[in-house]
Amino acid sequence: MMKHVAANALTLAIVALLMLGGLLAMGQRAFYSEGPLEQAICLRVAPGANLRTVTDRLQEQGAIANATVFRVGAQHTGRADRLRFGSYLIDPGATMDDILDTVTSGGASTCGTEVQLRIGITRADYIVRELDPASSRFIERANLPVASDDLPEEYQAVAQQPDTRFRITIAEGATSWQVWNALRHAEFLSGELVDVPEEGSLAPDSYEVRRGQQRAALVADIQARQTAILAAAWENRQEGVPLDSPEQALTLASIIEKEAGGPLELAQVASVFYNRMASGMRFQMDATIIYGITRGEGHLDRPITRSDINGVTEQRRHGAIEFNTYQIDGLPPSPIANPGRAAIEAALNPADTPYLYFVADGTGGHAFATSLADHNRNVARWREIEAEQRRQQGG
């Protein structure tokens, strides 16, 4: 009798072990298999959140099918107590193992709210935007001028969130004064920024930064990137380019940046300058006149006059006549803006064209010409376009 009972007990134990093994195998498959999420989501892990809170949120958002398996898997792999706060993009079909890696590995948030300091060529703004996980595109929520000392509560509430990301975007063609002025007003940066960086020394790009990051250290990083870009472009310059130094290339690139109508025109505009140099012509570019008057501190709020071209206005008072390429031969003494990588590369690898002239054509680009007669016809057409635009605007 006792043998029979013992045999039955052993059988039940074996069955139980087999069932447990089967459950473990099923759980393991579920943990490492593709998850049920059909559309990307943004998962926010708040400071101090525990595993149960995160698990419940994942199940509510349809990212996991079994909360128990997720929690047991987190415990088994030693990640249950390693959650890092932030906002994380969870991709469609992410496995439980993938999700745990995302929320425990730390690093910068990959979605959620971002405050962007956008430094353009006319103004600087705070852009509050949020990533839409479904489209992977940012949706703008607010746009505020940087110079404002009294930022609204809506901005402060977002900016003070511990998982809000910060980004600084510098547009191609922005001047060093414009960048310096925006950075010293940026409320999320710290430290002094006493001197305006050298013109042309800042690499236009998008930079992710931390709240409290030192302004001077950030500028040094941005300058180091521009130095590396210029060095690489100089090393790969077109054979026979008649420039004596990388610094001359940077100056030429800054003029190309300000004069070109877009990235597709950069190499063409560069060719005009080289053709003019070969012909003994002056550059005669309006952007250099404007820089001589403003020194990059804002914009000239009036049309260029004949006196400006002749160099008898603010240029002489500022001692900046050397920037007026209607009055000087060759390049001005320094850049007139911060050129981007593409403009620097175009300055050292110009297109092969016969062009000597260009003027706006009303489309955002330019009409190029090889002769003064053709150029004058293009200018006349542009004047007609300008007049029509003024009529349409009621001016």
Domains in the chain: boundaries: 31-111, 113-230, 239-392
Nearest-CA neighbor of 103 among 77, 129, 139? 77
332 versus 16: the higher-pLDDT residue is 332
Nearest-CA neighbor of 275 among 284, 262, 288? 284
Q: CA 290, CA 302: separation in Å to the nearest integer? A: 10
Q: CA 378, CA 381: separation in Å to the nearest integer? A: 5
- Length of the chain as a residue count: 395
Per-residue pLDDT at 89:
84
Per-residue pLDDT at 231:
97
Cα–Cα distances (Å) from 225 to 99, 141, 204, 232, 368, in that order, read 34, 31, 9, 11, 33
Confidence of residue 386 (pLDDT cuts 50, 70, 90): confident
**Averaged pLDDT of the chain:** 85
Predicted confidence (pLDDT) at residue 291 exceeds the cutoff of 80: yes
Q: CA 259, CA 346: separation in Å to the nearest integer? A: 13
92 versus 28: the higher-pLDDT residue is 92
Confidence of residue 12 (pLDDT cuts 50, 70, 90): low
Per-residue pLDDT at 6:
47
Cα 381 from chain centroid (whole Å): 36
Amino acid at 316: R
Residues in contact with 56: Cβ distance below 8 Å, sequence separation at least 6, in sequence order? 67
Confidence of residue 369 (pLDDT cuts 50, 70, 90): very high
Q: CA 185, CA 179: separation in Å to the nearest integer? A: 10
* Span 57-64, average pLDDT: 86
Which class is domain 31-111?
Answer: alpha beta
Nearest-CA neighbor of 115 among 168, 62, 69, 72? 168
β-bridge partners, 145: 125
6 versus 336: the higher-pLDDT residue is 336
Which segments of the chain does DSSP mark as H helices, in order?
A: 2-32, 51-60, 67-76, 96-104, 153-159, 176-185, 215-235, 246-259, 266-279, 286-294, 306-310, 314-317, 341-348, 372-392
Q: Which of 140-149, 183-192, 249-258, 340-349 has the lowest mean pLDDT?
A: 140-149
Q: Which of 139-148, 205-214, 291-300 has the lowest mean pLDDT?
A: 139-148
- Cα end-to-end span (Å), the chain: 111
Per-residue pLDDT at 315:
55
Confidence of residue 106 (pLDDT cuts 50, 70, 90): low
Contact between residue 200 and residue 312 where contact means Cβ atoms under 8 Å apart: no
Confidence of residue 216 (pLDDT cuts 50, 70, 90): very high
Per-residue pLDDT at 279:
94
158 versus 149: the higher-pLDDT residue is 158
Sheet of 137-145, strands arranged across: 137-145, 124-132, 113-119, 165-170, 206-209
Predicted confidence (pLDDT) at residue 5 exceeds the cutoff of 50: no
Cα 213 from chain centroid (whole Å): 17
Per-residue pLDDT at 203:
97
Percent of the chain with pLDDT over 70: 89
* Span 161-180, average pLDDT: 92
Percent of the chain with pLDDT over 90: 43
